[in-house]
Chain A
Amino acid sequence: SSELTQPPSVSVSPGQTASITCSGDKLGNQYVCWYQQKPGQSPEVVIYQDTKRPSGIPERFSGSNSGNTATLTISGTQAMDEADYYCQVWDSNTVVFGGGTKLTVL
């Protein structure tokens, strides 16, 4: 099954664009979703099926997936976006999570 690699941490200034990557062999052949998890809270899906935003998720969240890398992009990052982010795929009848990326907005 897939192994998904994320950078442990990403830093961004308020108002700038944050990019969080998720790498895996032939990842572009699978649908990727992304979860946001704030301290003490349950994860929340912010992107599914590579590029789709659930109802209620701000437009500043977008996703892409091609080749071996999927990317979560947060445009005009706000302080409230500081959180852990996890990518996830379905592969060979199993769910695989990336290790998670801590996004710091400073």
Chain B
Amino acid sequence: EAGVAQSPRYKIIEKRQSVAFWCNPISGHATLYWYQQILGQGPKLLIQFQNNGVVDDSQLPKDRFSAERLKGVDSTLKIQPAKLEDSAVYLCASSLGLASSTDTQYFGPGTRLTVL
């Protein structure tokens, strides 16, 4: 079974530029998550989709971050414009069930973003 795929693996941009990350979850997984992991910290949930609807985006900085999950499969996360403090690893995860608290989340390798 293929795991969660993410691209690109690394991205370097200057502040005020825009950037987009792509995620393809495990086939058949209903729920998709985007996390931000700043160096030295644990992952923080940015947004959660159930199929193609948003379940939780309470910690997403909506003035600059946006995400979509078209057709309930793959997803993109965009930052526009980027700030220095957005430098982090962006992790995508998916789970089989419909956002149950007992679900196991499967993580992709992440995209490491550096904002100069």
Whether chain B is bound by chain A comes out as: no
A interface residues with partner B (beta carbon < 8 Å): none
B interface residues with partner A (beta carbon < 8 Å): none
